[in-house]
Amino acid sequence: MPSTIDPRRQRELVRLLEKMGLEQTKLERDIPSGFDWLLVDQALVHPSFSTTYNNDQLEFIGDSVLKLAVSLFLREKYGDKKVGVLSALRAHLVSDKTLAKIARTYELKKYIVLSEAMRNDSQNVQGQEQTVLANSLEALMAAIYTITGDVKFIRRWLDPHMQNFAEALLEIPALGNYKLALLELTQRRWKRLPEYRNVATSVKNNIFFVEVWFDDRCWGQGQGKSIKAAQQEAAAIALDQMQKEIQI
């Protein structure tokens, strides 16, 4: 494990956090013990690049940090909603799909250190880039939280994204439960049910691929860390496509 960070790499990470509204001077002022840029660097090193210095454990911690930040956000902004509604919102807000979208707004891909083989995989294997981006963003959250000891440094840039996604979800039938919404649509309009087909599984990367069929036509393809998540993504695409054709 390196004991110091390369100055050029640190300047890159400074630019990244500044994109998130976390300015270096303010960070170093607010953290009397010093801001650990080496830990931020480690958060963006994929296990394919190094077996000893990588973001595996930080990503594990980041999963909990993310759920805490999102739960606090939901309680403050939507405290009048039932727990079931809040749980449904949180499930979508912490998904890989949502995290990857957020990561792309900060061009996180440019800062992630991957092996050459993994870099090629993330470009060519369906769903791989989404997983890499989501995991790296979670690891970055863990690093920031570990250094600062305060979730406010995460919520400062995460909350606006959560607000946008939550508002969009609340406008969707069945509150983002796309499978239920699709089922209700097909039953109501055609008195028939859609069919989900598992088309592939990447055991190495723990990614599932699913298609949703209706009337001998594939209406959507989805991917996720579980079959359920992949089905939801496929259903979301199918629902959008069906609603567009109904309006034509």
Looking at the annotation, which residues are catalytic?
A: 63, 138
Would you say 219 and 238 are in contact if contact means Cβ atoms under 8 Å apart?
Answer: yes
Nearest to 154 by CA among 225, 46, 63, 38: 63
- 233 CB contacts (<8 Å, ≥6 apart)? 97, 178, 210, 220, 222, 223, 224
The interaxial angle of helices 56-77 and 83-93, nearest 10 deg, is 140
By the 8 A CB rule, do 239 and 186 touch?
Answer: no
End-to-end CA distance of the chain, in Å?
59
Going along the chain, which residue ranges are E strands? 195-202, 207-213, 218-224
Burial of 206 (0-12, 13-18, 19+ CB in 10 A): exposed
Say how far apart CA 118 and CA 141 lie, in whole Å.
22
Sign of CA dihedral 68, 69, 70, 73: positive
Q: Rg for the chain (alpha carbons), in Å? A: 20
